Structure 1
Amino acid sequence: MGVSTSEAEKGVAVVTVDFPPVNALPVRGWYDLADAVRAAGRDPDVRCVVLTATGRGFNAGVDIKEMQRDGGHGALIGANRGCFEAFAAVYECEVPVVAAVQGFCVGGGIGLVGNSDAIVASEDAVFGLPELDRGALGAATHLARLVPQHLMRALYYTSRTATAEELHRHGSVWKVVPRAELREAALELAHEIAAKDGYLLRLAKASINGIDPVDVRRSYRFEQGFTFEANLSGVADRVRATFGTDKSKGQEGQS
């Protein structure tokens, strides 16, 4: 259990997240993920990173139960800072990052894939932000990188999800495959990327980030301020108190 890194083939590092049952990450998990992605990107032999996860779903956001066990705001602050670091690590990774997404990708998962360079998804993958159902805000910055503006707003306000095929039609998911073929498809794309010159790939990543129309670090940090306000006002606790009563949701995270 935790975050691990392996070399799938020459030039490709695979960072795997494993926090059963639903990959809702504790505070330490977000920092470990950030460290792993940054370390892989700094490795001169790595030309592409594949970000993947074990189990039913790719990511269910932060561990809300960890917050509920905390009598103060320590877990909230830690989760916000940890998410910030993990999202930034993916975006700022020195080489391209390919996210391999299966099952649910919600809350903090959107921050990870929204900052990735490419996404390969299984046919059963769904993407969304259940933040308003979890007493939180955040990651609209990253959802806006996956779908058009008005769809992002509708998904955000309703806590609904979009399928991998829908995102494929919008151009944000590179390829949709059966779950059994997900790893192979992600590695195939990563291998194609890793075949390029490593130094030039690093220049390409830096140059593309440099022309990005949105500063994702500042934009997400702005959103996090409203999450703090929701907690200080007491509305977040009121909404989180209902967490677990809606059995139809199935996940336990937020961003």
Structure 2
Amino acid sequence: MSVSTARPEPGIAVLTVDFPPVNALPVQGWFELAGAVRAAGSDPGTRCVVLTAAGRGFNAGVDIKELQRTPGNDALIGVSHGCFEAFSAVYECEVPLVAAVHGFCLGGGIGLVGNADAVVASDDATFGLPELDRGALGAATHLARLVPQHLMRTLYYTSRTVTARELHAHGSVWRVVPREDLTAAALELAREIAAKDASLLRLAKAALNGIDPVDVHRSYRYEQGFTFEASLGGAGDRHRDAFVAGHRGRERS
């Protein structure tokens, strides 16, 4: 389980998340991801970062099993801070960050992709927030950066997903390609970005964040408060217990 960094070409850092079997990150995994993104972005030799993942899908959110097997609220508090740090690291990355998404992108994955500068996706990619089915709230801030407001609300209330092609139609996904072409497509975009003046790229990133109409840090932090309220009220554990029990049942069948 790790977040690895490779530099396949000058100016480009590729971060690969690998937490089998589905890239549902534990508390430490979110902090590790945040650290890797910040390190890559702060390296003077980096002009563009590509965030990708190994395995079956890009990201399945938080490790719910870790939350349920940890007594008290320590894991819930830890993963809340970890997600906040990882999402913030992507948003604040000093150079443009391209998310290369395949398979499922759920929960915390939306937080990462919604804060990325550009998204390239494979034709099997799906995006969604199953938070209400998991006893949580959050990342509507980031889903709202991918789809229009009313669609965001409908997806949030229903826990439905949308495809990469649907997001491409909304303009939030740059390209949709066959799965086997995803890495090449992401590197192609990163290469075009990395060809620009290094100092101007960093100034451009800071300028674009500075004119963003939504403060993503404050907005997401506000959402997180309702997840704690759901947990204190019992809904959080009830739905997470049901999810874990259902997962165990599928493993036995």
Taking structure 2 as the reference length, what is the TM-score of the superposition? 0.97
State the match for 2:222 in structure 1: 222
1:51 aligns with 2:51: yes
State the match for 1:211 in structure 2: 211
State the secondary structure of the residue aligned to 1:110: helix
1:80 aligns with 2:83: no
Larger % of helix: which? Answer: 2
1:113 aligns with 2:91: no
* Contact in 1 for aligned 2:65/2:244 (Cα 8 Å): no
State the secondary structure of the residue aligned to 2:25: coil
Q: Residues 230-249 of structure 1 correspond to what in structure 2 (within 5 A)?
A: 230-244=230-244
RMSD: 1.0
Count of residue correspondences: 248
Q: Residues 57-68 of structure 1 correspond to what in structure 2 (within 5 A)?
A: 57-68=57-68
State the secondary structure of the residue aligned to 1:243: helix
State the match for 1:42 in structure 2: 42
State the match for 2:175 in structure 1: 175
Q: Give the Cα–Cα distance (whole angstroms) in 2 for the partners of residues 87 and 18 of structure 1.
A: 17
State the match for 2:129 in structure 1: 129
State the match for 1:253 in structure 2: none
State the match for 1:202 in structure 2: 202
Q: Give the Cα–Cα distance (whole angstroms) in 2 for the partners of residues 199 and 222 of structure 1.
A: 34
In the TM superposition, what whole-angstrom CA distance separates every residue of 1:79-130 from its partner, at most 9, and x where no partner exists?
A: 0000000000000000000000000000000000000000000000000000
Q: Give the Cα–Cα distance (whole angstroms) in 2 for the partners of residues 180 and 138 of structure 1.
A: 32
State the secondary structure of the residue aligned to 2:243: coil
Counterpart of 2:56, as a letter, is R
Q: Give the Cα–Cα distance (whole angstroms) in 2 for the partners of residues 179 and 90 of structure 1.
A: 23
Could you tell me which runs of 5 or more consecutive residues in structure 2 were left unpaired when the two chains were aligned.
none
Q: Give the Cα–Cα distance (whole angstroms) in 2 for the partners of residues 184 and 245 of structure 1.
A: 39
Q: Give the Cα–Cα distance (whole angstroms) in 1 for the partners of residues 243 and 23 of structure 2.
A: 17
In the TM superposition, what whole-angstrom CA distance separates every residue of 1:57-79 from its partner, at most 9, and x where no partner exists?
A: 00000000000111100000000
Runs of 4+ aligned residues of structure 1 deviating over 4 Å after TM superposition are 244-247
Counterpart of 1:201, as a letter, is L
Deviation at 1:242, TM superposition (A): 1.2
In the TM superposition, what whole-angstrom CA distance separates every residue of 1:213-236 from its partner, at most 9, and x where no partner exists?
A: 000000000000000000111111
Higher relative contact order (CA 8 A, sep 6+): 1
Q: Give the Cα–Cα distance (whole angstroms) in 2 for the partners of residues 212 and 174 of structure 1.
A: 19
Could you tell me which runs of 5 or more consecutive residues in structure 1 were left unpaired when the two chains were aligned.
251-255
Q: Give the Cα–Cα distance (whole angstroms) in 2 for the partners of residues 21 and 106 of structure 1.
A: 14
Q: Give the Cα–Cα distance (whole angstroms) in 2 for the partners of residues 124 and 246 of structure 1.
A: 25
In the TM superposition, what whole-angstrom CA distance separates every residue of 1:168-209 from its partner, at most 9, and x where no partner exists?
A: 000000000000000000000000000000000000000000
State the match for 1:99 in structure 2: 99
1:19 aligns with 2:27: no
Deviation at 1:10, TM superposition (A): 0.5
Q: Give the Cα–Cα distance (whole angstroms) in 2 for the partners of residues 244 and 119 of structure 1.
A: 31
Counterpart of 2:120, as a letter, is V
* Contact in 1 for aligned 2:64/2:244 (Cα 8 Å): no
Q: Give the Cα–Cα distance (whole angstroms) in 2 for the partners of residues 234 and 67 of structure 1.
A: 14
State the match for 2:5 in structure 1: 5
Q: Residues 179-198 of structure 1 correspond to what in structure 2 (within 5 A)?
A: 179-198=179-198
Q: Give the Cα–Cα distance (whole angstroms) in 2 for the partners of residues 230 and 197 of structure 1.
A: 47
State the secondary structure of the residue aligned to 2:242: coil
Q: Give the Cα–Cα distance (whole angstroms) in 2 for the partners of residues 51 and 243 of structure 1.
A: 28
State the secondary structure of the residue aligned to 1:20: coil
Q: Give the Cα–Cα distance (whole angstroms) in 2 for the partners of residues 242 and 122 of structure 1.
A: 31
Counterpart of 1:22, as a letter, is V
Q: Give the Cα–Cα distance (whole angstroms) in 2 for the partners of residues 222 and 119 of structure 1.
A: 25
